[in-house]
Amino acid sequence: MIRTTFGLLALLALLPALPARDKAETPTPTQQYQALVKEYQTAMMEFRKAYFAAKTPQDQQKVFQEKYPRPDKFAPRFLEVAEKNPQDPAAVDALIWIVQSQVDTSDPKGPRAKALKILFRDHVQNEKMVKVCYRLGFARDEESRQLMRAVLEKNKYRSAQAHACLSLARQTENRLRLARRFKDQPEMAKRYEVIRGKEAFEALAKADLDKLSKEVEAFYERIVKDFADVAAPDSGTFGEMAEQKLEGLRHPILVGKPVPEIDGEDIDSKKFKLSDYRGKVVMLDFWGHW
Amino acid sequence: MYSHERSLVKRLEGKPFVLIGVNSDKDRAALNKVMDKEKITWRSFWNGGSTQGSISERWDVEGWPTLYLIDAKGVLRHKHVGSPGEKALDEELDKLIAEAEKTAAAK
* Residue A14: predicted pLDDT: 57
Residues linked to residue B23 through DSSP beta bridges, in sequence order: A287, B46
Across the interface, whether the CB atoms of B96 and A257 are under 8 A apart is answered no
pLDDT band at A6 (very low <50, low <70, confident <90, very high): low
Count of CB atoms situated within 10 Å of the CB of A211: 9
Please give the pLDDT value at position B107.
77
Q: Which residue of B has its CA nearest to A239?
A: B54
CA atoms of B60 and B66, how far apart (whole Å): 10
Locate the DSSP E strands across chain A.
263-265, 271-273, 281-287
Is A166 a residue whose pLDDT tops 70? yes
Distance CA A192, CA A202 (A): 10
CB contact under 8 A, A240 and B54: yes
DSSP strand pairing (B44-46 vs B17-23) = parallel
Predicted confidence (pLDDT) per residue in B6-50, tens digit: 999 999 999 999 999 999 999 999 999 999 999 999 999 999 998
Tens digits of residue pLDDT in B72-86: 999 999 999 999 999
**Beta bridge partner(s), residue B69:** A283, B78
> Which pLDDT value is given to residue A23?
57
Q: What is the pLDDT of residue A181?
A: 87
Q: Rounded to two decimals, what is the model's pTM? A: 0.82
Report whether A105 contacts A141 (CB < 8 A). Answer: yes
Helices and strands (H, E) in chain B, number of each type: 4, 4
List CB contacts (< 8 A) between A289 and chain B.
23, 25, 31, 34, 38
**Calpha distance B28→B48 (Å, rounded):** 10
Cα angle B49-B52-B53, degrees, rounded to a multiple of 5: 55
pLDDT digits (tens, 9 = 90+) for A83-113: 999 999 999 999 999 999 988 888 888 999 9
CB B97 within 8 A of CB B17: yes
3 state DSSP class of A283: strand
CB contact under 8 A, B20 and A285: yes
Cα(A58)–Cα(A77) distance, integer angstroms: 31
- For residue A27, give how far its alpha carbon lies from the nearest alpha carbon of chain B (Å): 37
pLDDT surpassing 80 at residue A1:
no
Give CA–CA dist B46/B41, Å, rounded. 15
A198: exposed, middle or buried (Cβ count in 10 Å: 0-12, 13-18, 19+): exposed
CA angle (A80, A82, A87) in 5-degree steps: 140
pLDDT value for A27: 93
Contact list, A184 vs chain B (CB under 8 Å)? none
pLDDT confidence of residue A233: 78
